[in-house]
Amino acid sequence: MRDGAVHVRVADRHLAHPHQRRGGRAMSAESYERLLPEIVPANRPYWDGLAENELRLQSCDACGEYRFPDSEVCPRCLSGSFSWREVSGKGRLWSWIRMHQRYFSEFDEVRPYLVAYIKLDEGPAVISTLVEAPEELALDLPVRAVFQPGFSERTILKFAVEHPEAAK
């Protein structure tokens, strides 16, 4: 473990090119936005949904399968017919990692950060993060979608641990 920590520090120095430095401020919406996928007609319903605090996924008109990210055909039955539908936003923590390594300078101010793999109740998995993540995480922890506006023009999908008392 100690060796791993040293390795991270060395790698940091190696990657810290001057042009990647953005000062000691919190991660800005502008720098974060550069990491977001471009909004195109194919994914616009997803982003429009988030802006209205709804998680919308493509659902196959032929077999009903939900899918994410967006694609032209159903990965299950290859039908090209689909509808965008609101889903519950509920899911379970399928896997996670705390990122200490520096892959994106945009995330410098929030390292280490949590990358969470969420398996939605409707089937698809999404990669996101948890807000107010507890120190102790567990597989299959129930989570629900939360919608964070303010990333330039966008609302971002994150997840929060579902507390039994709050779910009532």
- The residue ranges that bind Zn ion (CB under 5 A) are 60, 62-63, 65, 74, 76-77, 79
Distance of CA 55 to the CA centre of its chain: 12
Instruction: Tell me whether residue 58 or residue 129 sits nearer to Zn ion (CB atom).
Output: 58
Please report the beta strands in the chain, taking only residues with DSSP state E, as ranges in sequence order. Answer: 56-60, 66-67, 82-86, 90-99, 113-120, 125-128, 130-131, 142-151, 154-161
In the complex, least distance from residue 118 CB atom to Zn ion, rounded to whole angstroms:
22
Residues 136 and 37: their CA atoms lie apart, in Å, by: 31
Instruction: Tell me whether residue 71 or residue 148 sits nearer to Zn ion (CB atom).
Output: 71
Instruction: Tell me whether residue 79 or residue 95 sits nearer to Zn ion (CB atom).
Output: 79
In the complex, least distance from residue 103 CB atom to Zn ion, rounded to whole angstroms:
34
In the complex, least distance from residue 80 CB atom to Zn ion, rounded to whole angstroms:
9
